[in-house]
Structure 1
Amino acid sequence: MTHLKQLEAESIHIIREVAAEFANPVMMYSIGKDSSVMLHLARKSLLPRYTAIPVDACRHHVEVSRDD
């Protein structure tokens, strides 16, 4: 097993452990490179039990988009 595969396997194990501790685990996704890797790992470790749900916060919360 390559070093990268070992890191991936360890990450998947950690994600599964954390997800098992909570009734409704949530992970934020910012479209950046780091959160893209996290989304990939979460999909590999949690699907089909969990689903990615997009949330457009700017459209629903005035506090996020107001110009002060």
Structure 2
Amino acid sequence: MDHLERLEAYSIYILREAYRKLGKTGMLWSIGKDSTVLLWLTKKAFFGHCPFPLVHVDTTYKIPQMITYRD
């Protein structure tokens, strides 16, 4: 397992543990690269779905393709 795979595995572990311990959680999502990676990791951690609500954070930076992807 290389360094990136270990980081990914640890991130998935943290997401699962947070969900297990906290129960009611939510995730902020701005459609930006960082929050989209977090969403991707969450879907990977929970076998293809996100078990908690996403809250869209409007950063006022509008790129039409991002809004289309969101909708």
Question: TM-score with structure 1 length normalisation?
Answer: 0.67
In structure 1, runs of 5+ residues without a counterpart are 58-68
The alignment status of 1:11 with 2:36, answered yes or no, reads: no
Q: Supply the distance in 1 between the matched residues of 2:7 and 2:45 (Cα, whole angstroms).
A: 13
In structure 2, runs of 5+ residues without a counterpart are 59-71
- Work out the number of aligned pairs and report it: 57
Considering Cα pairs closer than 8 Å and 6+ residues apart, tell me whether 1 or 2 has the greater RCO: 2
RMSD: 2.4
Q: Identity of counterpart residues, as a percentage?
A: 39
The alignment status of 1:50 with 2:44, answered yes or no, reads: no
Q: Supply the distance in 2 between the matched residues of 1:7 and 1:56 (Cα, whole angstroms).
A: 26
Q: Supply the distance in 1 between the matched residues of 2:57 and 2:10 (Cα, whole angstroms).
A: 31
> Highest Rg: 1 or 2?
1
Q: Supply the distance in 1 between the matched residues of 2:50 and 2:36 (Cα, whole angstroms).
A: 19
Q: Supply the distance in 1 between the matched residues of 2:5 and 2:50 (Cα, whole angstroms).
A: 23
Structure 1 segments (4+ residues) deviating >4 Å:
51-57
Q: Supply the distance in 1 between the matched residues of 2:19 and 2:4 (Cα, whole angstroms).
A: 22
